[in-house]
Amino acid sequence: MSLCQRILTRHGLRASPAVMKTTSTSISSTQFRQMHSSKSVATTTTQALLAEFERRSNTIPKPPESRENPMIGIAPAARENVGQKRFADFNLNGRVFVVTGGARGLGLSLAEALAETGGNVYCFDRQPEAGPQWGEASRRAEEYGGSLHYRQQDVQDSEGIDRNIAEIADKHQRLDGIIAAAGVQHLAPAMEWTREEANRMMDINYTGLMMTATSAARQMFKYKCHGSMCFIASMSGSVANKGLLSPVYNSSKAAVVQLARNLAMEWSPIRKDGTGGIRVNCISPGHILTPMVLKNFEEVPGLREKWESENMMGRLAETSEFKGAALFLLSNASSFMTGNNLVIDGGHTAW
């Protein structure tokens, strides 16, 4: 339904078929005025509708112009002595991050990467407690100058996400970025999906991720932190997985990749007040040996062997093999990278 049609409906009016056809495409305010100049619509109502149309047309939000708001100051200055400090671009000492889906598996491994390089990392997950690997991960983080903290938080609870992220940012007077790794999987032929099942998966994998990102962005804007966000998408957002019927999951991951592009466009430029400067990228992993994938192997006999034969390396990934990519994207090492999708799949999508 077009904007004009929505305005008409709101006022209890109906347009002729010809008008409906015209309003299915973009129209100018002059065309709008002409369409509603007939005697069937009172002059005052026409004026009110036109005013509403013009008001909304003139208040459409636009992204900042990147040419006028360049991300200056994010990359090391050319005069700096390269090599003055070993791997300085990867140093996250004192920075603050939130990782969703961080109780176990891939999310915890990525959180480790940030903490082991000095970051203060808060892991959110709907599980009451973190997984068995948490203790060792936390110990290593402290050994290397970082820290890991766990909070039970479901990404479907937007108010809770807002509250927790705001508390963390206020405590440290900063927020430098997030890794959004929370997600669920459900296997079923397309014709067997219910609306409720599809909505739930999209609510977690896409909407929950977007609400996490926007909540974090509000705090990063508040404290003028020019940081980075990493969304965990999947190669499943680019290809259909052989041997696995997961149409909604794959669609949700494709949506995540597109969301990253759009948020990068909106948040990467630095405004004149110093806000912005947030880079947004994705990692699209191939098949990883996570608890979710191991469950898939139980549900579909022979699936592991099939997947191992489908990539160039002949095996599946361990969660630890993505730590370097996460550190790269959340640190200054990727200072000229935004709006991109880093595919790490053992060559699965390359042939």
Other beta carbons within 10 angstroms of residue 88's beta carbon come to 14
Contact between 212 and 155 (Cβ < 8 Å): yes
Characterize the bridge pairing of strands 120-125 and 147-152.
parallel
Catalytic residue flag (residue 253): yes
Angle between helices 208-222 and 247-267 (to 10 degrees): 20
Identify the active-site residue in 122, 253, 295, 323: 253
Identify the active-site residue in 85, 249, 295, 306: 249
How far apart are alpha carbons 227 and 72 in whole angstroms?
13
List the end-to-end C-alpha distance of the chain, in Å, as a whole number. 42
Contact between 302 and 258 (Cβ < 8 Å): no
**Pick from 335, 342, 341, 340: which is nearest to 71 by CA?**
335
* Burial annotation 263-290 (CB, 10 A radius, 16+ → b, else e): bbebbbbbeeeebbbbbbbbbbbbbbbb
What are the φ and ψ backbone dihedral angles of 183, each rounded to 5 degrees? -170, 160
Catalytic residue flag (residue 249): yes
Tokens of 264: 């990068």
Q: What residues act catalytically?
A: 249, 253
